[in-house]
Amino acid sequence: MKVLIVGSGGREHAIALSVAKSAKVDKIYCAPGNAGIGQIAECVPIGAMEFDKLVAFAGEQEIDLTIVGMDDPLVGGLVDEMEAAGLRVFGPRKNAAILEGSKAFSKDLMKKYHIPTAAYENFDDAGSALEYLETAKMPVVLKADGLALGKGVLICQTLEEAKEGVRTIMEDKKFGEAGNRMVVEEFMTGREVSVLSFVDGKTIRIMSSAQDHKRALDGDQGLNTGGMGTFSPSPFYTEEVDAFCHKYIYQATVDAMAAEGRPFKGVIFFGLMLTQDGPRVLEYNARFGDPEAQVVLPRMRNDMIEVAEACIDGTLDQIELQFEDNAAVCVVLASEGYPVSYEKGLPIKGLECFEDKEGYYCFHAGTKQTEDGIVTNGGRVLGITAKGADLKEARANAYKAAQWVTFDNKYMRNDIGKAIDEV
């Protein structure tokens, strides 16, 4: 069969590699893709938000299955448009992708269905948000309602900071239209875990857990980024945590969406915080995590196409997910200056070191193929993933492999997975 993947990051490279392992697949296309994806798929120069062109391409090429990796096209309704054209597509429809597209929606859903999360209030105007803050307990968390590249969350220590934050989001519109509404949320403390799942509208199947490292600098300092590295599984995701989440969070979320007339089919990403009072939902995403996908998918034994089709057909109850009994660590190689400003177009050397190396992966994010070879083309350039018998071995392998690749202004965190030493 012919498969089209929509997106261009390390996540889509990991999806493509998973899809390529399926015996059912003859040909993979990726729109728009990147240099690494181009080695296993045919990249087509269509942007992820060019819905008409994507629908036309999938029709003309008789694509059997489209997998949408990115949040923007999902929230914008690409799945609906593809379905309307009679195409088969993996991902939530627009009315379900709102689970990620509107934080105010997801908070109201959790409240209505008693799914554990931080206490909050939603606001449509700056005036009432500012008034509310006068009596709120600090620190407080401000969230722009809509998609903001993972950057629309402000943690404010003082009332002054919080007021400034409201102005930044709702008046200065730093995150654009995403700031038309805002959530003001209780500040929680605890360890964070990312749990990805497949959902077919009714049934949910949980993948192996992971942990992201969102801050740019070692020791969780510096600005928030899309993610500087991950490990899987998380040793903090214990059987007790798993049992709690199954009882109060996972199926409850799927049932809540169905009850609202918004059946969710695709991947739900649960961003959890393990607080002293138990696990709480920090956020939902309607897609695989990036870079979570780069450590979770290489460990999945199932045929990705079979699982995706079961989600579309509503037969996920017949599938059990299976993961290798090992660990994986992903270290992101970024451009110095990310996430603010950085140079592009710098030649990357050493990529060939990964050829035929079992258990080592070089996922491309911001890269471009030029006549002179592959060059950097973004803030997050590559995700270097390695497996190991346990997390410590996987981390040592990932940092070893991170040395194989060089480019000017290469930057990485040196403490990805350091938390596992505490276990």
Interacting residues with ligand AMP (CB under 6 A): 118, 141, 143, 150, 153, 155, 185-188, 192, 214, 271, 282-283
Judged by CB, which is closer to ligand AMP: 110, or 311?
110
Query: Shortest gap between Cβ of 314 and ligand GLY (angstroms)?
Result: 26
User: With CB cut-offs between 5 and 8 Å by kind, which of ligand GLY, ligand AMP, none does residue 197 bind?
Assistant: none
User: With CB cut-offs between 5 and 8 Å by kind, which of ligand AMP, ligand GLY, none does residue 118 bind?
Assistant: ligand AMP
Strands (E), 344-402: 360-364, 367-370, 373-376, 380-388
C-alpha torsion sign, points 67, 68, 70, 74: negative
User: With CB cut-offs between 5 and 8 Å by kind, which of ligand AMP, ligand GLY, none does residue 83 bind?
Assistant: none
User: With CB cut-offs between 5 and 8 Å by kind, which of ligand GLY, ligand AMP, none does residue 153 bind?
Assistant: ligand AMP
Judged by CB, which is closer to ligand GLY: 47, or 150?
150
Query: Shortest gap between Cβ of 164 and ligand GLY (angstroms)?
Result: 25
**Any contact of residue 260 with ligand GLY (CB under 6 A)?**
no
Measured from each CB, the residue nearest to ligand GLY is 289
User: With CB cut-offs between 5 and 8 Å by kind, which of ligand GLY, ligand AMP, none does residue 64 bind?
Assistant: none
Query: Shortest gap between Cβ of 71 and ligand GLY (angstroms)?
Result: 8
DSSP state, 176?
A: G
**Any contact of residue 211 with ligand GLY (CB under 6 A)?**
no
Pick the closest to residue 218 from 417, 413, 410 (CA basis).
413
**Any contact of residue 72 with ligand GLY (CB under 6 A)?**
no
For 129, the enclosing helix (H) or strand (E) is helix 126-133
Judged by CB, which is closer to ligand GLY: 145, or 290?
290
Residue 261, sorted as left (phi over 0), alpha (psi -120 to 50) or beta, turns out to be left
Size of the site for ligand GLY (CB under 6 A): 7
For 69, 148, 303, the CA distances from 72, given in Å and listed in that order, are 9, 10, 26
Near ligand GLY in 271-290, by CB under 6 A:
285, 289-290
Q: Quote the CA–CA distance of 63 and 79 in Å, as a whole number.
A: 14
Query: Shortest gap between Cβ of 215 and ligand GLY (angstroms)?
Result: 12
Judged by CB, which is closer to ligand AMP: 185, or 200?
185
Q: Quote the CA–CA distance of 189 and 187 in Å, as a whole number.
A: 7
Q: Quote the CA–CA distance of 230 and 197 in Å, as a whole number.
A: 17
For 135, 139, 238, 264, 389, the CA distances from 288, given in Å and listed in that order, are 38, 30, 22, 14, 24
Among residues 47, 77, 150, 190, the one that binds ligand GLY under rule CB under 6 A: 150
Strand partners, 411: 334
Q: Quote the CA–CA distance of 409 and 394 in Å, as a whole number.
A: 25
Q: What is the CA radius of gyration of the chain?
A: 21
Measured from each CB, the residue nearest to ligand AMP is 283
User: With CB cut-offs between 5 and 8 Å by kind, which of ligand GLY, ligand AMP, none does residue 187 bind?
Assistant: ligand AMP
Please count the residues of the chain. 423
Query: Shortest gap between Cβ of 72 and ligand GLY (angstroms)?
Result: 12
User: With CB cut-offs between 5 and 8 Å by kind, which of ligand GLY, ligand AMP, none does residue 278 bind?
Assistant: none
List the Cα angle 134/273/73 in 5-degree steps.
Answer: 90
Judged by CB, which is closer to ligand GLY: 107, or 287?
287
**Any contact of residue 12 with ligand GLY (CB under 6 A)?**
no
Strands (E), 9-146: 27-32, 42-43, 65-68, 89-90, 120-123, 140-144
Pick the closest to residue 280 from 206, 208, 210, 187 (CA basis).
187
Q: Quote the CA–CA distance of 348 and 224 in Å, as a whole number.
A: 25
Among residues 33, 73, 76, 227, the one that binds ligand GLY under rule CB under 6 A: 227
Among residues 185, 200, 292, 309, the one that binds ligand GLY under rule CB under 6 A: 292
Judged by CB, which is closer to ligand GLY: 18, or 285?
285
Judged by CB, which is closer to ligand GLY: 203, or 211?
211
Query: Shortest gap between Cβ of 411 and ligand GLY (angstroms)?
Result: 18
Q: Quote the CA–CA distance of 358 and 361 in Å, as a whole number.
A: 8
- Binding residues for ligand GLY (CB under 6 A): 150, 212, 227, 285, 289-290, 292
